[in-house]
Amino acid sequence: MGKDQTLKLKVNGRDVVSNSSGAMPLLWLIREELLLTGTKYGCGIGACGACTVHLDGVAVRSCVTPSASAQGREVLTIEGLRSPSGGPHALQKAWQTAQVPQCGYCQSGMLMAAASLLAEHPQPTDSQIGAAITNLCRCGTYPRVRSAIHAAASALKTAGEQA
C-alpha cells in the first residue's frame, strides 16, 4: 500500500477510514485519530506491551505494527473488550475481584494480552501465562495478574463460555 492511500479497517466493530501514512504505527492512529486513549504508549519498540491490542483476535503490540498492516482487518482495543453477552469480559470481572491494578497504566495491555491468551488456551498453566504475558508492570501487579487469569479461566469454564 502506498503512503497516501486510504486505510480502511474496523476498530471495536466500527468502520474506520484514515488518510494517515500507512507507516505510522497503529498505536497513534488509535490514540490520536480515534481518541481511544486506553491503549498506551510505553516504549515504542514492542518491549513493554502497554500498547497491546487485538488484530483479528490476536494480541499485537500496536507501537510497532504499521497501520497499513491493519488494512481490511479488525482491531479490538480495551474500550471494545466485552464478554460475548456484552457485559464486562470475564477478565475484567476477575481483575475487579482480585483488585489487580495499582497505577493502572499497563493494565489495558495486560488485559488484552490475557484475553488473547485465553482465546488460545482457555485453561492456561502458569508457564503458559508466563510465556504469553511478557507485558511489563512497574508497580508489581504480576502475582495478581496471574491469579486473576486463572480465576477468569475457571469462571469461563463454569459458565461454559469462550473468552
Partner 1 sequence: MNLRRRLVLVGGALAGGGALFGGVVAAFASKVEARSANALTGNPDDHGFGSWLRLSNEGLCTVFVPHIDMGQGTHTALAQIVADELDLEWAQMRVLLAPIDHAFANGALAQGWLAGDIPIPAWLQGSSGFVFKRIARLRDVQISGGSTAVRFTGQLGLRVVAASARLSLVQAAARLWGLPAEEIGTASGCVVHTPTRRSAKYADLAGDAAENGFSGHPRLKTGGFRLVGTSPPRLDIPAKLDGSLRYGTDIQLPNLRMASVTAAPVRGARLLHVDEAPALAVAGVEKVIRLPDAVAVVASGWWAASQGLGALKPSFGPVEGEGAVAVSTEALIHAQDEAMTSARRRTDRSQGDVDEAEAAALASGGLLVKAAYRVQMLHHATMEPMAMTAHWQADRLEVWAGVQDPLNARAALAKAAQLPFNAVTLHALPIGGAFGRRLPRSMEPALRQLVAVARACDHPVKLLWSREEDFTQGTYRPALGARLQAVLQPDGTPASWRHVYVRKNTESDAAHVPYNIAAQDVQWVDDPAESWNVPSGAWRAVTHVQQTWYTECFIDELAHAARQDPLGYRLNLLRPKSREALVLMKLREAAAWGQALAPGVGQGVALAHGMGSLVALCLHAQLDGQRRPQVTRAVAVVDCGLVVHPDTARQQVEGSIVMGLSAAIGEQITLRDGAVQQRNFTDYPILRLSDVPAIEVHFMGGERVLGGLGEPALPPVAPALANALFAATGQRIRQLPLSSAYAAA
Contact footprint for partner 1 (CB under 8 A)? 20-21, 24-25, 28, 32, 35-45, 47-48, 50, 77-79, 81, 88, 92, 95-96, 99-108, 111, 127, 129-131, 133-146
| Choice between 48 and 151, CB closer to partner 1 | 48
29 and 17 Cβ atoms separated by less than 8 Å: no
In terms of CB distance, is 48 or 55 closer to partner 1?
48
Nearer to partner 1, 32 or 56 (CB): 32
Q: Least Å distance between CB 160 and partner 1? A: 24
Picking from 138, 79, 89, 139, the residue whose alpha carbon sits closest to that of residue 117 is 89
Parallel/antiparallel/unpaired status of strands 74-76 and 58-61: unpaired
Give least dist CB 56 to partner 1, A. 20
Q: 3-state secondary structure string, 91-159?
A: HHHHHHHHCCCCCCCCHHHHHHHHHHHHHHCCCCCHHHHHHHCCCCCCCCCHHHHHHHHHHHHHHHHHH
Please, which residue, 37 or 71, has the CB nearer to partner 1? 37
Please give the distance of CA 146 from its chain centroid, rounded to a whole number: 16
Q: How far is the CB of 50 from partner 1 (least distance, A)?
A: 6
CA angle (106 as vertex; 100, 110 as ends), nearest 5: 70
Task: Report in angstroms how near the CB of residue 77 gets to partner 1 at its nearest.
Answer: 7
Q: Compute the least distance from the CB of residue 2 to partner 1, in Å.
A: 14
Residue with grid cell 466500527, as numbered in its chain: 14
Instruction: Output 122 or 142, the one with its CB closest to partner 1.
Output: 142
